[in-house]
Amino acid sequence: MATVHSINVSPTGGVPKRPVMFARIHAEGVDGDKQNNLKYHGGPMRAVCLYSLDRIQALNDEGHPITPGSIGENITISGLDWDDVVPGVRLTIGDVELEMTEYTVPCSKIAESFFRADILRVAQPANPGWSRVYTKVLKEGTIHVGDVVTLHPAASQIGEKR
């Protein structure tokens, strides 16, 4: 069962984002979170950034000092098969519904989370399945640490795993 491990915000912008126990999710993002560069972050198609606790732990095993929120994700999810998180999938967290819109592009501001500043370790083109993802908000609401996360496959995925 997938759950919300951490909800992360930065009231001043940038990284790391710090944990909170709950947050209101709305069409423009997460209450209490600010983005410094709106050209690349935030807005309705990049309202919420997600990442996998399981990927973070695997990166730790490789020697990277990454922690939840250190690379800018708003929600760190545990127990979700990250290979299934592709454009078009929908996730339900409590009463909130999100749709994955795109993979993030890592920037130099997250370099401290990687051995030898290897930010490409979480770049989708270089390492498919290891990227953070952006989502749009389909249904607003409040989420809490520990909430169950349900993945709803994209229309293009239905029937693929049979």
Q: Where are the domains of the chain?
A: 2-152
pLDDT on residue 39: 65
The DSSP H or E segment spanning 131 is none
- Mean pLDDT on 36-56: 87
pLDDT on residue 144: 98
Q: What's the CA gap between 132 and 129, in Å, rounded?
A: 9
pLDDT on residue 153: 85
pLDDT on residue 35: 82
Question: Mean pLDDT, the chain, as a whole number?
Answer: 93
Instruction: Classify domain 2-152 at the CATH class level.
Output: mainly beta
Model pTM?
0.94
* 113-152 residue pLDDT tens: 999 999 999 999 999 999 999 999 999 999 999 999 999 9
